[in-house]
Amino acid sequence: MLKAISSFFAGVIVVAVLAWQFGGGLMVQEYPSPFGLQETVARIQHNIKDAGWSLSGLRSPSNSIRKMGANVPNVLLIETCKPDYSKPIIKDDKTRILSILMPCTITVYEKGDGVYIGLLNSGLMGRLFGPMVTEVMGKVAADQKKFITFDPSKPAPPLIRPQTTNGGSGSSKGGIQDLGGC
């Protein structure tokens, strides 16, 4: 009996350690980009629009950090939304808390060996919150794959800059216009 109980607890500990070690890697996905930072962002933006989604914003948390005096690599956050997908989640009292995931954010960032794209694993995330959210987030995951599928034979599209409401043009550091912070 003691052997069975100790084996059970050992199993629980092993599962907990594995979840802690690998769980984060399941929730986020990283893909290398064959293009530079701005071209990757521009291609994703145009793919988003072609898929019928809206662009909600483009932010540069690295510029906010640079303003504090730190030297950090470029990071751009592309914010996008599809009201048809958001509506059922926001409409339901039980799932409205998931609005924290809206807008859908895609990150494009520089590492020592190139440019990468980061996505939340929407399909897996959806499965944690019941059938309706599973269905919606499955559609989001399918669309996200389209966002990051590039046709290298097509010329690079222009970067879509957010509209400024204050008439300002933003400053530039590290070759990236100041597009807002976190």
CATH number of the CATH domain containing 58: 3.30.310.70
Both tokens assigned to 57: 């914003």
| pLDDT tens-digit series, residues 5-19 | 666 555 656 555 555
Q: Is residue 64 part of a domain?
A: yes
CA distance 104 to 122: 9
Percent of the chain at pLDDT exceeding 90: 68
Instruction: Give 51's DSSP letter.
Output: T
Q: Judge whether 6 lies within some domain.
A: no
Its domain, for residue 77, covers: 29-158
Tell me whether residue 173 is in a domain: no
Examine residue 106 and state whether it is found in any structural domain, yes or no. yes
Considering the entire predicted model, what is its pTM?
A: 0.78
Q: Span 73-101, mean pLDDT?
A: 93
What's the number of domains the chain is made of? 1
pLDDT at residue number 166: 44
Q: Is residue 14 part of a domain?
A: no
- Distance separating alpha carbons of residues 99 and 103, to the nearest angstrom: 8
Residue 110 lies in a domain: yes
Q: Does the residue 180 lie in any domain?
A: no
